[in-house]
Amino acid sequence: MEKYLEVKNLRTYFNTPEGVVKSVDGVSFHINRGETLALVGESGCGKTVTSLSLIRLLADTADLKYDYMMVDGQEIKDLTKEEARQIRGKKISMIFQEPMTSLNPVYKIEKQLGEVFKLHEPGLTKEQIHEKSVEIMKKVGIPNPDERLKVYPHQLSGGLRQRAMIAISLASNPQMVIADEPTTALDVTIQAQIIDLLKQLQRDSNMSILLITHDFGVVSQIASRVAVMYAGKIVEEGMLEDIFRDPWHPYTKLLIMSIPGIKVTRGGRLESIKGTVPNPLNFPKGCRFAPRCPWALDICKDVAPEEMVVGNRRVSCHLRTQGKAVE
């Protein structure tokens, strides 16, 4: 399998009046061509900042560093604004968490789609742009595309708005998309349809997908590999089946147990994980999950665990390093 994207030791810190916010604090991962990697974790773990770092859509207060980054066979030395601009769109396109923040409310859908076509395929005539716009609207499952192109974003229903946004993200014909919680605001039927749509687009064009979500249920429907993020770090990564069958990190286990409908043999179903994600201004020393971990050992509170790699899996947890199971 060929890697499409790889990043090593990504650190994205924000300088704020309160101090340095370590939103992403040493993250490494890769995505193969045509593969879906899910990045899972609770709110505030650094999922969005990780993805925005890859295309450098960050506030000026951000300080971004990494040891190595490669996209589409090319090493990205320092991800300057110009390099980032070349990556965005054709190489990596983003589907944002909230459609209304990425669709421009004052322009009709046709104009917004047209801008993307103009940017990526200069020289298209007005008629060609219209044809392509209709075609992509159909592709993402929007009925009556001719009419829908003529409306403003707020005139569409939530589901169609999400699809319109996906159409705009795909108009640049990207080799990889980052889908940042494309489903949270939607009801379950639309959620399932969007996931089917992404799957189908992936089959048609061998696109890579980085799916960002806090919902392990969504992950199981689409991802082949899973990276679990907690407090600015990836704490566990592996193939979906392996992670589901036998989670190694307590955080992963608790996330899986909190999926509605999952039967837990001991202790019943867990509604949510107790406590909150630590503030990235001030992470606890030792394992960052230790204050919430029901299995924490003495060492966990003082010493940060080293990453352990076993075949195509990795985990950072003292329990696992000491050969203790999480039960």
Ligand X SMILES: Nc1ncnc2c1ncn2[C@@H]1O[C@H](COP(=O)(O)OP(=O)(O)OP(=O)(O)O)[C@@H](O)[C@H]1O
Nearest position to Mg ion, beta carbon: 48
* Partner whose binding site includes residue 46, from ligand X, Mg ion, none (CB under 5 to 8 Å by kind): ligand X
By C-beta, is 44 or 99 nearer to ligand X? 44
Given 3-state DSSP classes, what are the helix, strand and coil percentages for the chain, each rounded to the nearest 5? 35, 25, 40
How many degrees, rounded to 5, is the angle at CA 146 between CA 140 and CA 152? 80
CB of 47 to Mg ion, least distance (A): 5
DSSP 117-130: HHHHSTT--HHHHH
By C-beta, is 48 or 133 nearer to Mg ion? 48
Whole-angstrom distance, CA of residue 90 vs CA of residue 171: 9
Say which residues have a Cβ less than 8 Å from residue 28's Cβ, sequence separation at least 6: 7, 8, 9, 10, 234
DSSP 252-300: HHHHHHTSTT---SSS---SS-SS-PPPTTSPPSS-TTGGG-TT--HHH
* Partner whose binding site includes residue 21, from ligand X, Mg ion, none (CB under 5 to 8 Å by kind): ligand X
* Partner whose binding site includes residue 133, from ligand X, Mg ion, none (CB under 5 to 8 Å by kind): none
Site of interaction with ligand X (CB under 6 A): 14, 16, 21, 23, 41, 43-49, 59, 61, 214, 280
CB of 190 to ligand X, least distance (A): 19
* Partner whose binding site includes residue 14, from ligand X, Mg ion, none (CB under 5 to 8 Å by kind): ligand X
By C-beta, is 48 or 221 nearer to Mg ion? 48
* Partner whose binding site includes residue 148, from Mg ion, ligand X, none (CB under 5 to 8 Å by kind): none
Using the contact rule CB under 5 A, the part of the chain among 46-54, 203-211, 234-242, 285-293 near Mg ion is: 46-54
* Partner whose binding site includes residue 280, from Mg ion, ligand X, none (CB under 5 to 8 Å by kind): ligand X
* Partner whose binding site includes residue 23, from Mg ion, ligand X, none (CB under 5 to 8 Å by kind): ligand X
By C-beta, is 16 or 322 nearer to ligand X? 16
Whole-angstrom distance, CA of residue 67 vs CA of residue 28: 9
By C-beta, is 113 or 211 nearer to ligand X? 211
* Partner whose binding site includes residue 45, from ligand X, Mg ion, none (CB under 5 to 8 Å by kind): ligand X
Whole-angstrom distance, CA of residue 20 vs CA of residue 145: 47
Using the contact rule CB under 5 A, the part of the chain among 43-51, 134-142, 249-257, 270-278 near Mg ion is: 43-51
By C-beta, is 99 or 114 nearer to ligand X? 99
By C-beta, is 64 or 171 nearer to Mg ion? 64
Contact 180, 210 (CB under 8 A): no
Q: Running DSSP on this structure, what letter comes out for residue 153?
A: G
Question: Can residue 48 be called a binding residue for Mg ion (CB under 5 A)?
Answer: yes
Whole-angstrom distance, CA of residue 47 vs CA of residue 66: 16
Rounded to 10 degrees, the C-alpha dihedral 146/150/152/153 comes to 20
CB of 249 to ligand X, least distance (A): 17
Alpha helices in 1-125 (DSSP H): 47-54, 81-87, 99-102, 109-120
CB of 122 to ligand X, least distance (A): 33
Token pair 């687009």: residue: 201
CB of 117 to ligand X, least distance (A): 30
Distances (CA, A) of 221 to 89, 151, 198, 216, 327: 26, 32, 11, 9, 25
By C-beta, is 48 or 183 nearer to ligand X? 48
The residues of the shown chain that bind Mg ion, judged by CB under 5 A, are 48
